[in-house]
Amino acid sequence: MTTAKTLLGTFVVAFALTVGAITVGAVVLDDDTTTTDVDHDHIDSSLIAEQAEDGGEIEMESSEPSNTIVIHTGAQPMSQTGMQFLDPANDQPTDYRTSVGSIGGQDRDVDPLESVLIENGHEVVYWQDRQDGDLSEVLDDADAFLTTGSGDLSSEEGEAIAEFAEAGGQTVIAADPGRSDDIGQLMSSQGLYTDAGYVYDLDENDNNYLSVYAEPTDDSALTDGVDRAVFRSVASVGSSTESTVMETDAQARHSTTREQGSYDVAAVDDNVALIGDSSFMTPENAHRVDNNVLVGNVADFLVTGTKPTGELGDDDPASGGEFGDEPASGGEFDDEEFDFSEESP
Amino acid sequence: MRVSPSDILSRRQQIAAVALAAVVVGAFVAPQVYGQTSQTDSKVAVVEITGAIDSSSSQYVEDELREARHNDSVEAVVLDIDSPGGSPGSSERMLTAVERTAAEMPVIASVDTLGASGGYYAMLPADEIYVTPSAQVGSVGVIGPAPMPSGPNAGTTAPDKGSFHPDDARATTETIQEVFLENVMEYRGDELEKDREEVAHARMYVGVESVENGFADEVGMTDDAIYEAADRAGLSSVEVVSGLTVDEDEQPEPIPFIEADGETVAVASEEADLSPHQPLAVTPEFWHERFGDLDFEDDDPEVPTNTTDADTGGEKP
């Protein structure tokens, strides 16, 4: 009996030890704290945004004697802080400058152009609104006119610019998307117009879909020496005389149709140049890729040609013969259809 | 004549034989004992990804999924998603946790309302994405501050310490977007009917359309996702568990109430920690709702508030 008890006791102890040891060991070993490797090899340096080349001097080739260039940059935008979230390249932006990377006042936006003109002996006159005098009178003394804020012009001011251009005055219209609605009527006599909406490129751009590249389509004074320019938000432009001189890459799209293709963004008709963007002249953008060459060409374009004469308006008996005088009646612009007088945003 | 073991084996040999028999029997019994002590019934864990994604919510999801991987009773995971996105980095943290989990067990994502931008980003490695017919998924894009130069400030030691150059701002946002886009193409490229450029348009797609174009896989509810997860895990019956890392004794924070226009309304106990000054992987609707009314001029003293004078701003100190 004693032997049987001993054997039973041995069995129970050995059994308990075995089960216990295996169970505890399994629990300990099964404390699964290992981690599965996750492969992120598809994330590599090729995804780092490349910066386009920056630099280069802004130079003029022209040796013209001193010209007077009137520059109009439009109304002060509502806000110029750096933290606005707006899509400015729509039809009615609150603040178009949020797309172009500029801050500090309208004049600063054309500072590189102003500098090169002054450096080459030319006079720059800023005209912003009626407080700076009557535009037609200012243009009487001008050789050239450039605006980056045509949407802020009144009908009378639009007439004065159109007459100035028709009289042979060198005129550059830089028309940002959303601020170019009236360009068609302003430049219709030159056969130039802009389209509503904006051009974008998600494939080939300068680190933003709005920052599209454009290349010359033909030899022109405006594009001489330019291989590639970048516009921070650009409207497509057109010409009745097929005088467009710059176009985007073929994979660009238009905001209104989403259709892919090359879009014309600049045109020149004799003494008038229309560019669907003004951002390329701002200090932060004027040296990006070949923008510096383009800015220099704009400066050369402005000082080229002859000064409009005082014979303008002579065929209108009500005109005093001075360029820019109001037509006696009607004129080319019908205020009801072409109202420049609306306040800009 | 009958011979008993005691007649053949010595006492020591008898004890040794019994002990050996006990070990053998014990070895057979131990796995069942271990199974009873360590295993419960196999389950499908449901992990919720709700609201804006920030470091806190990504930490929670990461903990939940880690627990799911280490809990032997969890055989599959369903991600129950309703999110407009959030911080790109936090979304990537979730993505990595989802991928790590999907390498060990079936993971099915389910969207009944919104799984967009960073919310879509987080679920990319799931084995399948279930959507309700009217859910919205996609929005593969980044929203950040418009790239404008801000004013200089002598209180900082360098120009990029307190402000930024617009070219750099564009490049930063673009790089984050490229990583987002690359991940979408990596994880969903075989299913997507759209090319990279179309995906980059950042459109949101309604559920029924997303199944057609490959942004999602199946039209179905969260229950369908749970059954699919159980089926993939080979479970004959479905038991669901959620809140793996939540202490049962822990009471949820009470929802605070505020007085607004004479009415008492409940507000979220805590908003996701997101900054409008950084690129975010969120839907435009969320951005406008969250940040649209902010006065950034007051918010950032380094930005000149009087910008009517050209000399006050930009790089003209």
Query: In whole angstroms, what is the distance from residue A44 CA to residue A42 CA?
Result: 6
Stronger pLDDT, B276 or A288, i.e. the higher one: A288
CA distance B88 to chain A (A): 14
Per domain, the residue ranges of chain B are: 9-152+164-246+275-309
Spell out where chain B has E strands.
Answer: 43-50, 74-83, 85-86, 107-116, 128-131, 136-138, 204-206, 218-219, 240-242, 257-260, 263-266, 281-282
Spell out where chain A has E strands.
Answer: 68-72, 123-126, 144-147, 170-174, 192-194, 199-200, 212-216, 229-231, 237-239, 244-248, 253-254, 264-269, 272-275
Lowest mean pLDDT among A159-163, A261-265, B271-275: B271-275
Q: What share of chain B is helix, strand, coil (3-state, %, to 5)?
A: 40, 20, 40
CA nearest to B16, candidates A121, A227, A10: A10
pLDDT of the residue at B310: 26
pLDDT of the residue at A241: 85
* Mean pLDDT (whole number) for A186-211: 91
Q: pLDDT, tens digit, for every residue of B70-119?
A: 999 999 999 999 999 999 999 999 999 999 999 999 999 999 999 999 99
Structure tokens at B104: 């060990």
Q: What is the pTM of this model?
A: 0.77
Instruction: Calculate ∠ Cα A198-A199-A200, nearest 5°.
Output: 120
Confidence check: pLDDT of A228 > 60: yes
DSSP A81: -
DSSP string, A5-63: HHHHHHHHHHHHHHHHHHHHHHHHHT----------TT--GGGSPPPPPB---------
pLDDT of the residue at A248: 97
Report the half-sphere exposure of A45 (CA within 13 A, side-chain side): 0
Lowest mean pLDDT among A151-155, B197-201, B278-282: A151-155
pLDDT of the residue at A5: 82
- ipTM (interface predicted TM): 0.76
Interface check for A283 against chain B (CB to CB < 8 A): the answer is yes
Answer whether A262's CB lies under 8 Å from A201's CB. no
The 3-state DSSP class for residue B85 equals strand
Spell out where A46-143 has E strands.
Answer: 68-72, 123-126
The 3-state DSSP class for residue A70 equals strand
CA A316 from chain centre, in angstroms, equals 39
Three-state SS for B105-174 is CCEEEEEEEEEECHHHHHHCCCCEEEECCCCEEECCCCECCCCCCCCCCCCCCCHHHHCCCHHHHHHHHH
Query: What is the third-level CATH fold of B9-152+164-246+275-309?
Result: 2-enoyl-CoA Hydratase; Chain A, domain 1 (3.90.226)
Which amino acid makes up residue A175?
Answer: A
Q: pLDDT, tens digit, for every residue of B298-313?
A: 333 333 232 222 222 2
Contacts of A26 in chain B (CB under 8 A): 30-31, 34, 38
Query: In whole angstroms, what is the distance from residue A194 CA to residue B190 CA?
Result: 41
Indicate the Cα dihedral angle A272, A276, A281, A286, nearest 10°.
-120
CB contact under 8 A, A207 and B171: yes
| Confidence band, pLDDT 50/70/90 cuts, at residue A164 | very high
Q: Which of B15, B173, B183 sits opposite A7 (nearest CB)?
A: B15
Interface check for A82 against chain B (CB to CB < 8 A): the answer is yes
CB contact under 8 A, A15 and B25: yes
pLDDT of the residue at B247: 67
Query: In whole angstroms, what is the distance from residue A158 CA to residue A333 CA?
Result: 9
Query: In whole angstroms, what is the distance from residue A122 CA to residue A63 CA?
Result: 10
CB contact under 8 A, B72 and A32: yes
CA nearest to A266, candidates A183, A163, A143, A158: A183
Q: pLDDT, tens digit, for every residue of B15-55?
A: 888 888 888 888 887 767 665 655 457 899 999 999 999 99
pLDDT of the residue at A345: 31
Count of Cβ atoms closer than 10 Å to residue A306 Cβ? 11
DSSP A238: E
CB contact under 8 A, B309 and A105: yes
Answer whether B269's CB lies under 8 Å from B143's CB. no
Mean pLDDT computed over every residue of chain B: 82
A94 phi/psi in degrees, rounded to 5 = -75, -40
pLDDT of the residue at B147: 72
- A-interface mutation test, from B8, B165, B174, B182, most A Cβ less than 10 A away: B174
pLDDT of the residue at A12: 87
Tokens 């309604």 label which residue?
Answer: B206
Q: pLDDT, tens digit, for every residue of B164-194?
A: 788 998 999 999 999 999 999 999 999 999 9
CB contact under 8 A, A33 and B22: no
Tokens 């892919």 label which residue?
Answer: A260
Instruction: Calculate ∠ Cα A263-A268-A269, nearest 5°.
Output: 125
Give the A:B interface size as CB pairs under 8 Å: 212
Query: In whole angstroms, what is the distance from residue A338 CA to residue B17 CA?
Result: 112
Contacts of A131 in chain B (CB under 8 A): none
Query: In whole angstroms, what is the distance from residue A276 CA to residue B67 CA?
Result: 57
The 3-state DSSP class for residue A248 equals strand
Q: pLDDT, tens digit, for every residue of B193-241?
A: 999 999 999 999 999 999 999 999 999 999 999 999 999 999 988 888 8
